[in-house]
Structure 1
């Protein structure tokens, strides 16, 4: 693990420790605390590990955690599945996905055009849009740019705050997913550059990123968007990963309902 990876792991553990109260962990109440959440010693006891060793781990020192220890920490912290997966990846205990994405197959690139009135696009793990149809471009005008990127558009373009009805909720979710995927590619310049650009351009990213939120991608749901002609609509969306290109995602919007 690199120094940056160890520091990121420590910050993530601390952020999750500080959100727990003694009551959450089944501990008796104590006197007033100077800092939020559980003490390091309390978490170490719950996980069945040395308090000193856990402190080293949270401080980003050069110590290695086994799968068993990481599982115990995940259980003690009450992590959900996405957070536990992120923890293991930060600790270098999970299989890394190849850094370079597969090239866009012509057959996949053609799919959005086959869907006609249903907005559809294909994007990479870093939210670069590789293919889209005109219905999608009508919703997201940035898709007509030479190198469209939905993460940059969401946080940097003023238009995004109008088009995405629930902008803050959707933007926070996107950032949590970006952190999750970036954790699978430590040191990957594609993610580093995107995250740095978002930090520079967006005060929201600077405020939310230290919270270490992670979330797996939703493969179905509904999203409220403002169509330039039809007005505010509630769309159903579905997402698919091509079998041979799991880092790419085909997103389709359908069943629009007036708000």
Structure 2
């Protein structure tokens, strides 16, 4: 098998079709080859059998995102396989599917916990914090002391005077967070879902209302990349931050804050161990 064949849309479709058990989908009859027939996949995907056949044969041009979504469902593809299907068919990943999140898997939590001196959080596109480590609890916010519905960074920043007072440059931080929030909800297709949160923040904070109307769109690469805080126990501290995508969960993001001073790092490690 050539590299080009192994990376073709048609070959991927044929391979995944051959792995499915016809009986589990209610299809019967003698078969010369394993898996579903082309017309059975087309029936499940609610597309023309001829069109599906052309796709496997590399004919007919590029399929639409809707067609690829139907085929992904028909072939029972995993999220990773679905993304690969879109890359082969359209040359781009599918749009993010937002999932309601209440926590993260143990593997990701262990990664957070291993960062003993670096506060780290996992957030959703609407900036709800769904996971954190001990360093984040002692330096940023003790998220565990709050009900899940209140663990939102924008609510902290615009509605909590104590959080606001800790910021070295509150306005700069607030503008950056609003611009990043706008970009995140648009990327995740959550503009309408975020409407209630936006309305709430506009009603409690004239500053948020003004920043939101500015229509700025920002990413982590657009900021200073250093967060400066006035911590009640550590005093003034500077944390360099980096943002990471979460593998297999494009709707989640990880932010890690690394102390610029080794002495502060040691103090954070000590506070986290005592927490």
Q: Distance in 2 between matches of 1:114 and 1:248?
A: 19
Matches within 5 A, 1:136-215: 136-143=136-143, 144-147=145-148, 148-186=151-189, 190-215=193-218
Q: Deviations over 1:40-71 (max 9, x none)?
A: xxxxxxxxxxxxxxxxxxxxxxxxxxxxxxxx
Q: Tell me the C-alpha RMSD between the 2 structures.
A: 2.6
Assess if the C-alpha contact under 8 Å between 2:99 and 2:251 holds in 1. no
Q: Following superposition of structure 1 onto structure 2, how do residues 1-259 of structure 1 map, counting pairs within 5 Å?
A: 96-100=95-99, 104-143=104-143, 144-147=145-148, 148-186=151-189, 190-218=193-221, 221-257=225-261
Displacement of 1:121: 1.3
Deviation (angstroms), 1:187: 5.7
Change (3 A) 1:142 1:255: closer
Structure (1 or 2) with the greater helix fraction: 2
5+ residue gaps in structure 2? 1-92, 265-275
TM-score normalised per structure 2? 0.54
The 1:196/1:186 distance shift into structure 2, 3 A limit, reads farther
8 Å CA contact 1:126, 1:190 repeated in 2: no
Deviation string, structure 1 residues 211-237 (Cα, Å, up to 9, x no partner): 111112339821111222111111111
CA distance in 2, matches of 1:239, 1:96: 20
Structure 1: give runs of 5+ residues left out of the alignment: 1-93
Q: 1:142·1:153 contact (CA, 8 Å) conserved in 2?
A: no
* 1:111-131 deviation digits (Å, cap 9, x = unpaired): 221112221111111111111
Instruction: Report how far residue 247 of structure 1 moved.
Output: 1.9
